[in-house]
Amino acid sequence: MDRLLLAWYDREGRDLPWRRTRDPYAILVSEVMLQQTQASRVVPRFERWLARWPSAEALADASRADVIREWQGLGYNRRAVSLHEAARRIAAGGWPADLTELPGVGPYTAAAVQCFAWGEPVLPVDTNVRRVQERTGHAFTPECGQALMDLGARVCLARVPRCGECPLAADCPSRDRRYEPERRQSRFEGSFRQRRAAVLRRVAESPRPLAELDGEAVAALSRDGLVEVDDGLVALPG
């Protein structure tokens, strides 16, 4: 199956900017951005981010306020704070042997950096990779990482897989099966996440009096290190 999958990927694989580099910092940035965000939305933001902060050292020297402003629109803004702190630790002491020691880096992100940047024999298993593994029952090698992600994102879909387009269909025990819908993420519209985002967007424009803002959202943003409250004024961290 590996050979068939890799041949398909050579023909059909997406041309994404983070696939053209072995720089661990660039790959870390891409993986953090891709958490909860579609690749098509990430591409222009990734390129802009790397143009502004091309290395961990450059990002480490940035202010947290600038990092948060640059992240606006990607959602889940706590990721920006974690990435900034990770860059500061890397700049100060290099890359740790255990990447999960870095803020915001879990086992999947650590494996992605190890595999895609350093060529280590570890397969990063995200939702798409796990789905293809479970349906085929095959143990893919780490060389198949990017191909598995594309296959899961574009062909081996969660509910109605496109088996007619799949290079693995002939030997797949799950061919032509249909699946129950997975639990969907709660709606953004009207949610507390939306309230937080609205407050952060206003504060990113300029400091605001606490009395003008959603106090509950401000408190949550403050706990996450996204805003600071001083003498009744809410602002981005310095």
Active-site residue (options: 31, 85, 143, 182): 31
Would you call 31 a catalytic residue per the annotation?
Answer: yes
Q: Which two tokens stand for residue 147?
A: 């191909």
Q: What are phi and psi of 208, to 5 degrees?
A: -130, 145
- C-beta separation of 110 from 96 below 8 A: no
CA separation for the pair 43, 190 (Å, rounded): 28
CA distance 226 to 235: 9
Secondary structure (DSSP) of 119-149: --S-----HHHHHHHHHHT----GGGHHHHH
| CA gap 169, 151 in Å, rounded | 12
Which run of H or of E encompasses 228?
strand 228-230
Euclidean distance between CA atoms 143 and 123, whole angstroms: 8
- Catalytically active residues, by annotation: 31
